Amino acid sequence: MAGALVVFCGQAEAGAPLRIRVDEIVERSCVGSPAPLIDDGAFARRTALVLTGTIPEGAEVRAFLAALDQAKREALVERYLNAPSFVEHLAEQFDVLLMERRPEKHAKQEAWRTYLVEAFQQRKPLDVLAREILSADGKEGPLQPASRFLLDRDADPHRLTRDAGRVFLGIDLQCAQCHDHPRVDDYTQRDYYGLHAFFGRTFLFQPDLNAPGKLAERGEGESTFQSVFTEHASATGPRLPGGPEFVEEAVSPGEEYVAVLVPSNGGLPPEPRTSRRALLGDALLERAEDQFARNFANRLWAMIMGRALVEPVDLHHSSNPPANPELLEILASSLRDGGYDVRAFARELVLTKTFQRALDAGQDGGNIPEHAVGSLEKEASRLAAEATTRWKEARDRLEAVETELKPAFDQWEGASAALREAVKHRNAASEAREQAEAESAAKGELLELLATAAQSAGAASEALRDLEGLDEAAEALRARAAQAEQEQTAAGQTLQERAAALAAKESERESEAAKREALQPQHAEMRARLAEARQVYLDAERQRREADLAHASARAEVERLAKLKELQGARRARSQAEAKLERISHARVLVAEAVTGLERLAEEQLSIASARREWIAQSESETLRLTKRHEELRNGAPIVEQALRDSEAVRERLPEDPALQTAEQRLRAALAKLARESADAEERLAAGQDAAAGWDEAGRASDEAAASATTRMALLRERAAESERDEEAARTALQEAEKTQAALEMDVLALRERTFAVARLTPLTPEQLCRSMMQSTGYLALQRAAAEAEYDAAQSAPQESPAGLDERGAAVEAALREKIRVPESEFIRLFGGGAGQPQGDFFATVDQALFFSNGGTVRGWLAPGNGNLTERLLKMDDSAALAIELYLCMFSRLPEEEEIREIQAYLQRRAEARSQAVEELCWALLTSTEFRFHH
Amino acid sequence: MKCNYSCKSEAHLVARRQFLGGSLATGAGLALGGLGMFTHPATARELARGQKRMLVVRMAGGLSQLESWDPKPGTATGGPFRAIPTSVPGIHLSELLPWTAKQMHHLALIRGINTNENDHGKGDYMMITGRRQTPAADYPEIGAVVARALDLEGSSALPGHIKIVPGGGGGRSADSAYLGPRYASVVLGNGNPPQHTERPESLTEDVFQCRSELRQSVDDRFALRRRTAETEAYTQSFEQARELMAEREIFDLEREPEKDRERYGTHDFGRHCLLARRLLENGITCVQVTHSNYDTHNENFTFHFEQLGEFDRPFATLVSDLAERGLLESTLVVVLSEFGRTPHINHLYGRDHWGTSWSICLGGAGIQPGAVIGATSADGTEVKERQVDAGHLFHTYLAALGLKSTGHFTIDGRKVPMADPAFEPISELLV
């Protein structure tokens, strides 16, 4: 269905549900008009993937498509949110987010995962979860598994500084470890060490390298730093980026530990009186809650919408503004005000129209909003520059104060160190004295015992004088007692000496304490001055950050508009190029036609001319003949006349001679004929001459015409070639314009995706891909059924109460996770990022394709059996019905006509091996782009 | 049965270039590669001819410099072996390396290494990543760096980084850190071909092609709805898989002449060296061969006698073959360890871990043949001249391959230096 779009005019009420407010903001600010909403099948697929980590079963899609319930989408969302697989999927995503697939080292992965599952089962708010993880002490108890975040990063302060910043605040301070970040003003070395101070005393306590290490913390140690660029040295107490320093309860030097560490108890970690790391959980939520909420709102949004508002998710800073700052603020405050309830937050997001936008491009909306973005950007830029100047001044002032106070601080630190040393010596002396005391007491006891024994022996020897040896015994005992007395005296002396030494050490300690105490007022004053300078600096920093953010947002807006304008220009240029090509093509056709016409004309003229030349040649030869004849006739006439005259002369003599008469008559007739013929020839000759003159002229004309046609034709041919070249150039220009336009169309599509006007293709995570493949092939259902059967078999009575069913669901889900561990880890190995690396990057490698093409795992799922997909399909005789079932299971939609035909044709072609053909069909769909990506 | 496998039409390829090009320009976090860019694999190979390559021989456990590159015969620390002259006058190697000595004119030595690290893991890490191990960050290995830096925009279906290791196993390893899985090495356990490159027996070539065509047709239809750099990379990976399957024979030593197999030797290391030659010739950017094991805390001399006896001839043969075939000009060869061994000989006739004054051997590409950089004292206990650390070596490898070692990669919008910025290449060693 292509639902009608409701366009909100005016802003939604602040109290309106989050989904309404989200849609209102997105529709108001997205690039172009929003795409239509997806149909039911796509909705079921998208929702199932996002909430339960797998595509829906084919049967479920079939039922969902058939359902007539108006509110069926809401109902489906509710069902998924309450499914055990929701909790499982959420725990898995948080595991990846928090641990980035680090291998198990000092903490148990399974216990950690169970801890996360239970946390989400109990709907533990996100802030509580964060606090538990960061303040974990690793001691035995229900929260022990939470220490994996710290332990499996080897409890290393630098690693923890980086990852706590990235994971919990969305800021990656790594580049600020040795100096202020070279490109991101927001990330300063001061911030890095402020965060580091929470972890600086934490370490991995691992006396036995073959046993897992434990979390431990020292009671002293400050985070000091020096920039490798400016060489300015500074120190900081624990503080969060942008926030003030923590004021800690002052612990007197030497008094940092509950139990005094002596070398002999090396098997135990130290026990400090205060834990800096324990402060972090609270600090995060009291001092940096805005950023904490923003970070998780952004990450949860990305999990559901397929794209974060701030990307990369761990680079929140003022020159990388959110795609929609207003939206991120609303999401963050809503997450916080909703008590960090992930399920409630997810529900709102999934029910937005924004979540349900189709993939198909829709309208990009040619109308560019004309408001004064440019001048706003200029103003923002000016303000940002000013704020930056003020911030740099404040930093210089702070550094000057730090430099000025450094000697005094060193003095204070020296006094503290001296005191700590004195306390150590005092404690050692005290211990020595106690030892001596014990020794002396022991010697006293011994002496007493010996004296008693000697006395008894003496008495015995007195009483029994005749018994031999008693005397000697008594004597020996007396001698031993005398020795013991000496020893006791010596011990007493040692004790006295040690007591004196202790007194000396104690007085040294007192003197050091007094020295330090004397520095106290000066120190307090310095602290105050420093705190003030730091506060001024932090205020300036905050203002700079805000101004920068505003500037970056304005700049993004300007760039967005520029891009749209550019696209419009490109489209115009493309259609102009198209029109030009059309015009040129048209002209070329006309020229070509003209050339053809001329060719015909020239040909005609030429043939006329040649016919005429032929005729001229003929008439010339006729004239020649006539002229000759005429000459003959003219030459013959006098002869005939002479003969006639001669004949007349004879007839005068013989007037009646008939023969003569006849001859005369004949001669006369011949003469007449001759005259006639001659006249005729003369006439024909004259006529011929006239005609010849005419022919000649006409022939010349034809020749000229033909010649001119040929010349024109050559010209036109040149023009035709030229216009062909023009056309080629216009075609190239059009192709260029098309390419430019295509690139810009992609850019604008990206902008539309970025502003959530249209859905985006998101690759499935390794776990989603694995589970979806198992789901579509029917393998997952089989494993689930087995897990259920095993659970039920272990129960004495079937679980029917809601609580019992919940318990069963959770237990089955956990058992299922165990059952699919092997294939899932194979997918993770191939499709997941490296251990400890960010997991969001998509990559398509040959070994993945080889795994799909030749590996046994997928082939195993496709082998028909146990009622799985291929077996079900093989039982279907009607290939159209088979196509429908196949598409529902693979793509959660009905096939198009063309797709049905394709499948029918395929099965027909492979009729001789139908079973294999069905497997191939499933394989082809399973490994297709449509399956690999979430859309 | 007839299947017209049509996914390589010109239109397809041109359009794809546009998609992929666009994504590269915007620097999306996307990895791809493939012969799909070219209409024929031979074109790719032709283009790759000028391509630089690297061979790393890892002497696992810690090779003794005194029994190899920096002999000190006749001293208290020198041990029983003599030094022999090499093909470069003035340079002597241990007599355990007679074959390598004949190739010295192709090679160079760095004798003043002080990594100050005596732990196997940490030493290994330093030598192969060019940085000291720190818990706060992971760095990619030299092979991944080189594969990425020399990647011809995904011109080959073949992996850019291959490790040949003794023993079994295989698959993709996690040695590319932030450069991503595309540049992680593919491990060939005991020289076996990569996983899943063989078509299952139940699948005939026809059927394989047929279902591929069907998948392509389904993909083409979907592409009408949306086409992105990511979808292109995904469909392309299947074409690459076909290419790689077709080229599976490059992993097959049976295709090498019997004579060569004899020259290299039939033991594992010999076969691995021959495979390395075959892979380099077929355009693999970085090949790493491991020879194990040199951790000789006792009986140092016997073990080195045996181990180097195995190493010497195949390695020398490989160097000479690469030179003869004109490949050495473009191929950097490095023989390294995690550290050297103590000059002091312990009571078990062993030598212990020693990172203070030791050597590596390298050659080819931009390395000056016959050069010796740095020197140790007469008894080999300290560096006397041109002391260098692992960071210098790493820079030098990159520079020898024609790369700007002070350059950086852009990862997810972040600039990461290619090599440790605290060091620079050993410039006098470079041509």
Cβ atoms of residues A852 and A827 within 8 Å: no
Return the structure tokens found at A594: 């003209």
Q: Most A CBs within 10 Å: which of B12, B120, B228, as the mutation test of the A interface?
A: B228
Mean pLDDT of chain B: 86
Chain A interface includes B31 (CB < 8 A): yes
CB contact under 8 A, A844 and B228: no
Query: Which pLDDT does position A363 carry in this prediction?
Result: 61
Which region among A47-51, A235-239, A813-817, B116-120 has the lowest average model confidence (pLDDT)? Answer: A235-239
Distance (Å) from the C-alpha of residue B222 to the closest C-alpha of chain A?
6
Tell me the average pLDDT across B384-404.
96
Strand, coil or helix: B286: strand
Facing residue for B196 by CB, picked from A837, A854, A927: A854
CA B361 remoteness from chain centre:
15
Taking contacts as CB-CB distances below 8 angstroms, the residues of chain A near B154 are: none
Residue A663 in this model has a pLDDT that exceeds 50: yes
User: What is the H or E stretch that residue A214 is in?
Assistant: strand A214-217
Instruction: Print burial letters for B414-430: b (CB count within 10 Å at least 16), e (below 16).
Output: bebebbbeebebbeebe
Distance CA B145, CA B148 (A): 5
Q: Which long-range contacts (CB under 8 A, 24 or more apart) does A778-781 make?
A: A778/A861, A778/A866, A778/A867, A778/A868, A778/A869, A778/A871, A778/A872, A778/A889, A779/A861, A779/A868, A780/A54, A780/A816, A780/A820, A781/A57
Interface of A with B in 149-178 (CB under 8 A): 153-154, 156, 158-159, 161-162, 172, 174-175, 177
Strand, coil or helix: A306: coil
Query: Which pLDDT does position A370 carry in this prediction?
Result: 58
Highest mean pLDDT of the ranges A311-315, A854-858, B18-22, B251-255? A854-858
**pLDDT, tens digit, for every residue of A62-98?**
999 999 999 999 999 999 999 999 999 999 999 999 9
Q: Most B CBs within 10 Å: which of A846, A915, A928, as the mutation test of the B interface?
A: A846
Residue A160 in this model has a pLDDT that exceeds 60: yes
A485: exposed, middle or buried (C-beta count within 10 Å: 0-12, 13-18, 19+)?
Answer: middle
> Using the 8-state DSSP alphabet, how is residue B332 labeled?
E
Tell me the average pLDDT across B38-51.
45
A788: exposed, middle or buried (C-beta count within 10 Å: 0-12, 13-18, 19+)?
Answer: middle
ipTM metric:
0.78
How many Cα neighbours within 13 Å face the side chain of A344? 15
Tell me the average pLDDT across A577-584.
92
Taking contacts as CB-CB distances below 8 angstroms, the residues of chain A near B199 are: 853-854
> Using the 8-state DSSP alphabet, how is residue A144 labeled?
G
Chain B interface includes A206 (CB < 8 A): no
Taking contacts as CB-CB distances below 8 angstroms, the residues of chain B near A312 are: 412-413
Chain B interface includes A754 (CB < 8 A): no
CB contact under 8 A, B210 and A920: yes
Query: Which pLDDT does position A13 carry in this prediction?
Result: 59
**pLDDT, tens digit, for every residue of A625-640?**
888 888 888 888 888 8
pTM: 0.79
Residue A204 in this model has a pLDDT that exceeds 60: yes
Kind of pairing, strands B161-165 and B186-189?
parallel
Band of residue A368 on the pLDDT scale cut at 50, 70, 90: low
Facing residue for A845 by CB, picked from B182, B207, B413: B182
Facing residue for A849 by CB, picked from B214, B226, B241: B241
Chain A interface includes B137 (CB < 8 A): yes
Query: Which pLDDT does position B155 carry in this prediction?
Result: 55
Query: Which pLDDT does position A690 carry in this prediction?
Result: 79
- Number of H helices and number of E strands within chain A? 28, 7
Amino acid at B24: L
Facing residue for B228 by CB, picked from A162, A761, A835: A761
**pLDDT, tens digit, for every residue of A402-433?**
889 888 888 988 998 899 889 889 888 988 89
Chain B interface includes A841 (CB < 8 A): yes
Return the structure tokens found at B135: 């818990």
The answer for B349, left when phi > 0, alpha when psi is -120 to 50, beta otherwise, is left
Chain B interface includes A920 (CB < 8 A): yes
Mean pLDDT of chain A: 88
Residues listed for chain B:
431
Which region among A914-923, A926-935, B234-243 has the lowest average model confidence (pLDDT)? Answer: B234-243
Chain A interface includes B173 (CB < 8 A): no
Chain A interface includes B5 (CB < 8 A): no
Tell me the average pLDDT across B247-270.
91
Chain B interface includes A743 (CB < 8 A): yes
Tell me the average pLDDT across A136-147.
91
User: CA angle, corner A291, sides to A30 and B134, nearest 5?
Assistant: 115
Query: Which pLDDT does position B49 carry in this prediction?
Result: 52
Tell me the average pLDDT across B249-277.
92
Residues 6+ apart with CB under 8 A from A516: A253, A412, A415, A416, A418, A419
**pLDDT, tens digit, for every residue of A899-918?**
999 999 999 999 899 999 99
Cβ atoms of residues A236 and A223 within 8 Å: yes
Distance (Å) from the C-alpha of residue A363 to the closest C-alpha of chain B?
14
Chain A interface includes B133 (CB < 8 A): no
Residues listed for chain A:
935
Name the nearest CA neighbour of B156 among B244, B230, B238, B229.
B244
pLDDT > 70 in chain A, percent: 96
Residue A362 in this model has a pLDDT that exceeds 70: no
Distance CA A182, CA B285 (A): 33
Highest mean pLDDT of the ranges A414-423, A608-617, B28-37, B388-397? B388-397
Residue A656 in this model has a pLDDT that exceeds 90: no
Chain A interface includes B234 (CB < 8 A): yes
SS3 content of chain A, % helix, strand, coil (to 5): 70, 5, 25
Taking contacts as CB-CB distances below 8 angstroms, the residues of chain A near B211 are: 920-921, 923-924
**pLDDT, tens digit, for every residue of A860-870?**
999 999 999 99
Closest chain A CA to residue B170 = A847
Cβ atoms of residues A922 and A888 within 8 Å: no
**Cα dihedral A544, A546, A547, A551 in deg (nearest 10):** 130
Residue A3 in this model has a pLDDT that exceeds 50: no
Interface of B with A in 272-331 (CB under 8 A): none
Cβ pairs bridging A and B (under 8 Å):
179
Chain A interface includes B74 (CB < 8 A): no
* Backbone torsions φ then ψ of B402, nearest 5 degrees: 80, 15
Which region among A406-420, B77-91, B296-310, B324-338 has the lowest average model confidence (pLDDT)? Answer: A406-420
Give how far Cα A816 sits from Cα of A63, A96, A186, A870, Å. 24, 19, 45, 22
The answer for B265, left when phi > 0, alpha when psi is -120 to 50, beta otherwise, is left
Highest mean pLDDT of the ranges A523-537, A638-652, A862-876? A862-876
Return the structure tokens found at A550: 């505003």
Taking contacts as CB-CB distances below 8 angstroms, the residues of chain A near B29 are: 840-842
Is the CA virtual torsion B93, B94, B98, B100 positive or negative? negative
CB contact under 8 A, B237 and A848: yes
Query: Which pLDDT does position B381 carry in this prediction?
Result: 95
| DSSP H helices in A316-469 | 325-337, 342-350, 373-463
Distance CA B302, CA A790 (A): 60
Amino acid at A168: F
Taking contacts as CB-CB distances below 8 angstroms, the residues of chain B near A924 are: 211-212, 214-215, 218
Higher pLDDT, A262 or A190: A190
